[in-house]
Structure 1
Amino acid sequence: MDVATHHTLEADSIWLAYQEQKILQNIYIKLETGHITGLLGRNGTGKSCLMRMIFGTLRGESQSVRVNGDYISHPYLQAGLISYLPQHNFLPKQLRVKEVCQLYHVDFEAVCEHFEALQQYRNTRIGDLSTGNVRLIGTLLVVLLPVSFTLLDEPFAALSPLAVEQMRKVILGQKPHKGILISDHSYEDVVAMADETYLLVPVGRSIRLKNVHSELAEFGYI
């Protein structure tokens, strides 16, 4: 997909339940290239599940994801369309950092342009890195992938305050080329970056916030 062209992704008709307990319903969310969209909600409201359903690796009772108005059943199978950062470590522990970069088609030197300290780990195996560095590298690879949409689930987790600030700059630098959905417990960072923000509330409804801070207080999020 041409990342230089404006694209939209809409997700609705999202219905997910476990053992008759409703997790997600009445969901609508829209992403646009050139926009950062925030996704907030307390633990258990289904933020990670929603991202996985948009990505296409989790199937619910129903779901609809449309790109430029066209239904896409499994977005992750479409080359150049979408990338996703899960909360868990997804990098192969046996591979070296430079090999993982090659696997994701991201230049190692481009990674180091943003975080120079990673240069020393070129030949280090993922399994020998600290938890923070594994998360940092994984997040950078997902953010820098040349796709139209990027889903980021807790991109600031396990990062130092200085690393968080730099990662914010990296994400903002990708904004002109992508539609980015970001969720993080550091909600202030999310709100500061987002052009629009959605809140998930029990049971699984999505609300697009107009007056973000006042509505977050109104719904008991802060």
Structure 2
Amino acid sequence: MDEISSRILEADSMWLEYEGQKILQNIYIKLQTGHVTGLLGRNGTGKSSLMQMIFGTLRGQSQSVRVDGDYFSHPYQHRGLISYLPQQPFLPAGLRVSDACRLYDVDFTALCHHFEGLEQYGRTRIGDLSTGNRRLVATLLVLLMPVAFTLLDEPFAALSPINVEQMGKAISEQKARKGILVSDHFYEEVLNLADETYLIVPVGRSVLLKNVHLELEQFGYI
């Protein structure tokens, strides 16, 4: 996919609570093409829920997602707009890797461009891959989809250290084509990639970090 003109996604008024317990409130976050945006927060602060709300598969008490000023109630329903990597496996075990590529509109050779070791797995079924390679294929499919924005929840999970480094390079390369939101417990990897970073702090509000490491200490994240 060629480089695309600059686009902006804004999510605000993101409010989520379960049985009266506030998970997210007063959340604002902005993504833009050409940028990697980091999203950090301790376990249970609602990072995954926020991504699902932006994607459109989770409805909160209130939410607003706008792209270039236009409101989208369910962004995932609009072709070419957004992709999302959840933490849990989502590819059918019986699906071959090459067929998964076709479903996600991704060239198999593009996967192999980033990870040459995948060349041997084109006809392999997803369920026959190792845990690390299943996650690797799933992450690459979501990352390489021809969309304007990509949300990555734990893209480094189950990857070896060398694959974490290579995945970081793939994410950096893709930001020329889209806006990318990354959340991961490997926070140093996130910070190395991010052009800007948001931290979700108790209770459920977002802070755009300016002096990143100092503020992460002040908010008790590190």
**TM-score normalised by structure 2 residue count:** 0.98
Structure 1 unaligned runs (5+)? none
Q: Deviations over 1:8-47 (max 9, x none)?
A: 0000011100111000001000001001100000000000
Aligned counterparts, 1:99-138, within 5 A: 99-138=99-138
Q: Secondary structure at the match of 1:112?
A: helix
CA contact (8 A) 1:36 1:181 kept: yes
In the TM superposition, residue 96 of structure 1 has moved relative to its aligned partner by 0.7
Deviation beyond 4 Å, 4+ runs, structure 1: none
In the TM superposition, residue 110 of structure 1 has moved relative to its aligned partner by 1.2
Q: Secondary structure at the match of 2:17?
A: strand
**TM-score normalised by structure 1 residue count:** 0.98
CA contact (8 A) 2:3 2:176 kept: no
CA contact (8 A) 1:3 1:147 kept: no
**Paired residue for 2:151?**
151
**Paired residue for 2:47?**
47
| 1:181 partner amino acid | L
**Paired residue for 1:195?**
195
Report how many aligned residue pairs link the two structures: 221
CA contact (8 A) 1:82 1:149 kept: yes
Q: Secondary structure at the match of 1:49?
A: helix
In structure 2, the CA distance between the partners of 1:3 and 1:69, relative to structure 1 (3 Å rule), is farther
**Paired residue for 2:15?**
15
Give me the whole-angstrom Cα distance separating, in 2, the residues matched to 1:13 and 1:55.
15
Q: Deviations over 1:144-164 (max 9, x none)?
A: 011100000000000000001
| 1:163 partner amino acid | N
| 2:117 partner amino acid | A
Give me the whole-angstrom Cα distance separating, in 1, the residues matched to 2:10 and 2:215.
23
Give me the whole-angstrom Cα distance separating, in 2, the residues matched to 1:208 and 1:144.
27
**Paired residue for 2:170?**
170
Question: Which deviates more, 3-12 or 59-68?
Answer: 3-12
Give me the whole-angstrom Cα distance separating, in 2, the residues matched to 1:214 and 1:88.
32
| 1:69 partner amino acid | G
In the TM superposition, residue 3 of structure 1 has moved relative to its aligned partner by 6.0
Identity of aligned residues (%): 72
| 1:194 partner amino acid | A
